[in-house]
A and B are shown apart, each in its own frame.
Chain A
């Protein structure tokens, strides 16, 4: 009986680890997807209204939540309080569940955001959109393959451990 309970606990832990790994991949995808959506909103706004970044961010935050939205809110607050600099920007976008290259890509974007003239800013956003499309597609693929694989593997190992111990 004790073995069955112990097996059940191990099964739960193993499944939990699998789901956590899957969540890691999902979070990464959602973050990159939301970043891309913000960049699209920014490009739209730049083309027509030319609002400042805080205004664009506030509009975006009205309808969006999640990891990226939290970072964006912090970034927008830094601008509002005139405390934004490279250091604070790096700190805000130092997101653990992104790969180093993805983190640097986003940090770099936000470091230069608002420091360029109109034409340069627009072309920078267009380039970012291209790259972010590639990154979010890759993240979605990873989530669907590696993420799902880990969650299934976690469950299978858990069941296997339970059977062995039973």
Chain B
């Protein structure tokens, strides 16, 4: 089967990257107009030599492939700053905003792309095994690009395999590798996946209709989502979620997210893919 990246990238760029990093180790590719190509291989960022410069045509090619030459059909997703592609590849984009009054109506002259390639990684850590055995509300924290989503994916599968009814709120299709109704990443037999629905809407709709044991959400964002999580916990649904931050100290100082510490039992702090620096039991001691 043809690998998604080989279809998505211009052949010149694909060959350059394939020569230095195999696709199963590649986690991110960054294309910036008139700048050298950079990529992350096993989470480590590198830049190709200056002579391999990304052109406007390269960016247009990737966008045309990702949107099947139908940019207009992806407008709502583009307005949120990303497009999803086969295999759960998420393409973050930035460019020039077009507004009508206070409303953003389009992004034109897109000049930077951040292509993130999802992988399912087995994580061998006894602390995670123990946490799965006695699961309770868990928050995974780290700075961006350290493997929160990877750990979340692994834990969802493990919990699902244990027979928990998992509800995955995967708005961007990144956790499940969703594209055109197909999921390229197996998140377990007891997992229900919601894609394309804004998370805030999905919380209220799906918690009632799908009756999950555990609800999983990647990258908690904003006060409204914290409110939704509080509602879920009140209803007796366990929560597994991730958040961009580096420590519980920072979290305590944050007026929006500090409430999460009241609901969560465990906080996992990670410093790299599969590399967990601390598992904090908020009701007890470090695990």
A117 to B67, CA, bound (A): 11
A114 to B70, CA, bound (A): 4
B75 touches A117 (CB 8 A): yes
Give me the interface of A with B, judged by CB distance under 8 Å.
Answer: 46, 50-54, 79-80, 82, 84, 113-122
Who on chain A is nearest to B100 by CB? A119
Tell me which residues across on chain A come within 8 A of B226, comparing CB atoms.
Answer: none
A122 to chain B, nearest CB (A): 7
- Given the contacts A51-B73, A52-B73, A82-B7, A119 and B68 also touching, CB distance less than 8 Å: no
Is the CB of B106 closer than 8 A to any CB of chain A?
Answer: yes
B105 touches A114 (CB 8 A): no
Who on chain B is nearest to A125 by CB? B72
Tell me which residues across on chain A come within 8 A of B106, comparing CB atoms.
Answer: 117-120
- Given the contacts A115-B60, A115-B64, A121 and B71 also touching, CB distance less than 8 Å: yes
Tell me which residues across on chain A come within 8 A of B78, comparing CB atoms.
Answer: 117
Is the CB of B13 closer than 8 A to any CB of chain A?
Answer: no
A94 to chain B, nearest CB (A): 19
B75 touches A114 (CB 8 A): no
A157 to chain B, nearest CB (A): 49
B58 to chain A, nearest CB (A): 13
Specify which of A113, A120, A122 is in contact with B69 (CB 8 Å cutoff): A113
A117 touches B98 (CB 8 A): yes
A77 to chain B, nearest CB (A): 12
A117 to chain B, nearest CB (A): 4
Digit string of B41-80 for contact with A (CB within 8 Å is 1, else 0)?
0000000000000000000100011011111110100100
B72 touches A84 (CB 8 A): no
Is the CB of B107 closer than 8 A to any CB of chain A?
Answer: yes
Tell me which residues across on chain B come within 8 A of A53, comparing CB atoms.
Answer: 68-70
Specify which of B7, B71, B105 is in contact with A116 (CB 8 Å cutoff): B71
Starting from the known contacts A82-B64, A114-B70, 18 additional A-B residue pairs (CB-CB under 8 Å) come to A46-B72, A50-B72, A52-B67, A52-B73, A54-B69, A80-B68, A114-B64, A114-B67, A114-B68, A114-B71, A115-B64, A116-B71, A117-B78, A117-B106, A117-B108, A119-B98, A120-B106, A121-B71
- Given the contacts A82-B64, A115-B60, A50 and B71 also touching, CB distance less than 8 Å: no
Tell me which residues across on chain B come within 8 A of A51, comparing CB atoms.
Answer: 70, 73
- Given the contacts A82-B7, A117-B105, A117-B107, A122 and B68 also touching, CB distance less than 8 Å: no
16 contacts between A and B (CB under 8 A): A50-B73, A51-B70, A51-B73, A54-B69, A80-B68, A82-B64, A82-B65, A84-B69, A114-B68, A114-B71, A115-B69, A116-B71, A117-B71, A117-B107, A119-B106, A122-B72
Kindly state the interface size class of chain B when it binds its partner. Answer: 10 to 19
A79 touches B71 (CB 8 A): no
A9 to B73, CA, bound (A): 57
The 9 closest A-B pairs by CB, nearest first: A117-B106, A52-B70, A118-B75, A114-B69, A121-B72, A52-B68, A118-B72, A79-B69, A114-B70
Tell me which residues across on chain B come within 8 A of A122, comparing CB atoms.
Answer: 72
B151 to chain A, nearest CB (A): 33
Tell me which residues across on chain B come within 8 A of A54, comparing CB atoms.
Answer: 68-70
Tell me which residues across on chain B come within 8 A of A116, comparing CB atoms.
Answer: 71-72
A92 to chain B, nearest CB (A): 13
Who on chain B is nearest to A53 by CB? B70
A115 to B78, CA, bound (A): 13
B285 to chain A, nearest CB (A): 53
A78 to B115, CA, bound (A): 24
Tell me which residues across on chain A come within 8 A of B67, comparing CB atoms.
Answer: 52, 114
A166 to B52, CA, bound (A): 78
A54 to B60, CA, bound (A): 18
Tell me which residues across on chain B come within 8 A of A114, comparing CB atoms.
Answer: 64, 67-72
Specify which of A50, A52, A79, A119 is in contact with B105 (CB 8 Å cutoff): A119
